[in-house]
Structure 1
Amino acid sequence: MSFLEPIGTPTPRIRRVLVTGGAGFIGSAVCRLLVAKRYHVVCVDKLTYAGNLASLHGMLDKPNFRFVAADIGDAAHLHRLMRDERIDGVMHLAAETHVDRSIDSPAAFVETNVLGTVRLLDATLEHWRGLPEARRRDFRFHHISTDEVFGDLPFDSGVFTEETPYAPSSPYSASKAASDHFVRAWHETYGLPVVLSNCSNNYGPHHFPEKLIPLVILNALEGRELPVYGKGANVRDWLHVDDHAEALERVLTRGKAGETYLIGGRQERTNLQVVEAICDLLDARVGQRRHRDLIRFVADRPGHDRRYAIDPSKIEAELGWEPRETFETGLAKTVDWYLANRDWWEPIRSGAYRGERLGVL
């Protein structure tokens, strides 16, 4: 009997899930959710700079969780792992994600996001073909992508939908767009049952400190400047990572093979509004200074998209998902988490990452 709550149509019998990039920000949130819901979870992560075993705290000794240090580019290893663990669902989150890093080192993004995805698809296809017919029918390969593949929008109109043409602006978004196309090709050419999702900007606990929200929180706590690109007018739709994890489980277990689902929070804010909101929360919690005084505007980066905004009507209507957090409630919880979890972020801030060009948006 399924332990999933029924919501309309019967769900595939997915119980044993391989999560790539599971020690990362979104991946660890997905692992926490699936473990709590009694899936058997195999977490695969290469443990590059953004992968952190500390983000899996509390799960490593769970009987329904296994961590494997592995590269998604090692197709033979991944195929053996899927076979031995009797995997019936793959959630592919492993990716290089930071736009600034993609501008400096685009080849790394091609290697991981494009070639790594193709090799993982090959391993998954071989595994899927060896399954009994009923398990082949229920199997899903869920590819998690980004709204950045669509390029940008005018400040005052338009939203991304599942029909929006691709127009990536950075090496990062181009690499994710390419991986999306390869996933669809494996469905059309080989029949692999895939589902895809493209999300808006995530935030929440365990977010690597090069990204806007954790960078601002931690810089402000340390009394350092808060760098904001341009005038801070660029707009993003914000989605709490735990809401995203819930949506991803819905897509995996209820999504129709071959379909794409856009996941957004309907919470658009300018980058300057985000930074100012964090400053105000810290003023109320730690006092000591007026944190807005730390804001500094810096030269904009190349190809900086103006605005992202997602229409999540399809996943809301077809899969019954909607976010629980508003930006205000989610941001307050996020600030509180960083204040309470210095043991997670201090080793990152004090180590090899200090001095890099991190996450000004």
Structure 2
Amino acid sequence: MRHQIGLMARTSERLLRRWQEDLLSFVPPSFRRSFAKLAGKKSLLIIQCHQGTLIASDGTTAPHKLLARARSEFVILKIDRDHVLCRRMEVPRAVVDSLDTALSMNIGVWTPFSADDVYALAHRIESEFRGLPQTPRVSIEVRCASRTIVDRHINCVRSLEIEPDAIHLGDEKFVLIRNTKKYRLRRWNNRISIILMIVFIIQTLVFSVLIAGSQSAEIERLTADQTHLRQSLRHKAQAEKQIARRNEMLKKILLKISESQSVSQAMQVLARTMPSGVVVLDLEISRDRGEGHLTVSGPRDLDLVTTLSSTKIFRARDLTATSSTDGMRRTYSVGFTLAEWGVVTNGAAP
């Protein structure tokens, strides 16, 4: 059970590290370097023990310089390839998913040594299978080095108070990590950086959702306000149309009242102007045409044209007169036109 938990933890860490690398690929290089520095990523110090002398990969041999660098850099002890046994073989594809476990269980079968005698690592050979269809078996390479030789090199490094953090078996793919204090600290730094990145991403997503939600609520509110405003404008337009129709009806009613009052006044003026003994037989007035027709009965010497003209309202035209059976009276029929109705309304007639 403990082995399964450890395997799950290592697998999860590899997945998180790969995810972190994928996320960092979208970050600008300057920020990427700052983040790496903040996460505790340090440069590497690769040293090799040659005839009792420690030599760094960049040629540094001074013990005090190596010790100073070892305090801040990740120390890798490189084993010469002459002391490393390499073997290539084919294994079932399912073994690749748990290659470390398979190596620990089959070290005596895959190599002529036992697990207590060597430091061993296994790695899949990728270059030979790129572009080829998958097969039931895959090629792997196993490398191992004698514990006696490696421990002797470790003791050589420890003589300078330097503790190797990893063992390099001749190739950068075959690096065996040792559980040192520096490695544990670096591992915790990596985990913390991954956790911080996950928290940052979650916070970013939460803030994005909150902002999107607030914007959506604001859009809905504005849409509702716009709909309400449109309805208000529609109701206002309908009310204005109704008011316009009512005003038009009132104007017509007032016009009718004005016409009625004008005709009544015109008849009053006509009644006051006619001499005594004149009887109005028929009166027609057309407000729209501004004209009318009058038929009266009066004495033979009645000057109807002058009488109508004196009102300043009626202008006589087409006067005809016919004698009645009385002999003393005549029937006068005259057409007339009307002056402006304002004259009648204002009472300008005498």
TM-score in terms of structure 1 length: 0.19
Larger Rg: 2
Higher RCO (C-alpha under 8 Å, 6+ residues apart) = 1
Greater strand percent: which structure? 2
TM-score in terms of structure 2 length: 0.20
Greater helix percent: which structure? 2
